[in-house]
Chain A
């Protein structure tokens, strides 16, 4: 069964701290996506990772992909309140560009 597992599912942290969200997947794939969803809103693309060892950074967020370990990480550096959201990872299973989604990590950053 194809699975994408995120952990933690819920994370409450203080501003200024660092933390990492993990995304494990069960199928062979070298294409992984990270999305952000604000409460009551749609999903917004954050990062597209297309090969083993890929690393992308945008502001305080950095995503990486290890296809051999079937693991992607989303690292948050010196968190700020504006990063509070739910973060989803999704894996491209190479079948009509279908994505298999993780359950999401709800991130709350307290001042």
Chain B
């Protein structure tokens, strides 16, 4: 199994540009999450999804959008990129039930200049 796959691994955006960070999992997990990690900091939840067609905001959703049309895919859209969105973005998933923990993707390092 590939687990959680994120693309791209690196990206440089200019202020005002838009992009989509891709996240795909092949474990049939219902629950998926997008986090950002600023340098030297912990994880902040941007959006999450409990299944196809259902998404909800996390702690820091402003400037981002998500969709979940299939169980496998959970893309994160950045509209009008700003320098404050420079960060490393991690996608994670988990299955229903207690104690399974998250499986993380390898991350996308985004720089907005």
What is A's interface to B at a CB cutoff of 8 Å?
Answer: 31, 33, 41-45, 48, 50, 88, 92, 96-99, 101-104, 106
Given A42-B104, A97-B94, A103:B42 Cβ within 8 A? yes
Residues of A within 8 A of B56 (CB): 96
Inter-chain contact A31/B102, CB cutoff 8 Å: no
B45: nearest chain-A partner, CB-CB: A98
Do A102 and B42 touch across chains, with their CB atoms under 8 A apart? Answer: yes
Instruction: Chain B residues near A99: list those with CB within 8 A.
Output: 102
Is B48 an interface residue, CB under 8 A from the partner? yes
Interface residue B75 (Cβ < 8 Å from any Cβ of A): no
Determine if B50 is an interface residue (Cβ-Cβ < 8 Å).
yes
Q: Contact at B48–A88, with CB atoms within 8 Å?
A: no
Interface SS of B by simple majority: loop
B104 touching A33 by the CB < 8 A rule?
A: no
CA distance A33 to B41 in the complex (A): 17
Given known pairs A96-B50, A97-B31, the reply for A45 and B43 (CB within 8 Å) is no
Query: Is B22 interfacial (CB-CB < 8 Å)?
Result: no
Cβ–Cβ contact A104 & B41, under 8 A: yes
Which of chain B's residues 59-113 have a Cβ closer than 8 Å to chain A? Answer: 90, 94, 96, 98-107
In the assembled complex, the Cα of A55 lies from the Cα of B11 at a distance in Å of 41
The 8 closest A-B pairs by CB, nearest first: A103-B42, A101-B42, A101-B43, A42-B104, A43-B104, A45-B101, A50-B99, A42-B106
Give the residues in chain B near A42, CB-CB below 8 Å.
Answer: 90, 104-107
CA A59 to CA B28, docked complex, whole Å: 31
Give the residue among A50, A97, A102 with the most B Cβ atoms within 10 A. Answer: A97
A42-B104, A45-B102, A50-B98 known; A96 and B48 CB under 8 Å? Answer: yes
Query: Given A42-B90, A96-B31 in contact, is the A88-B99 Cβ separation under 8 Å?
Result: no
Measured CB to CB, the closest approach of chain B to A108, in angstroms, equals 13
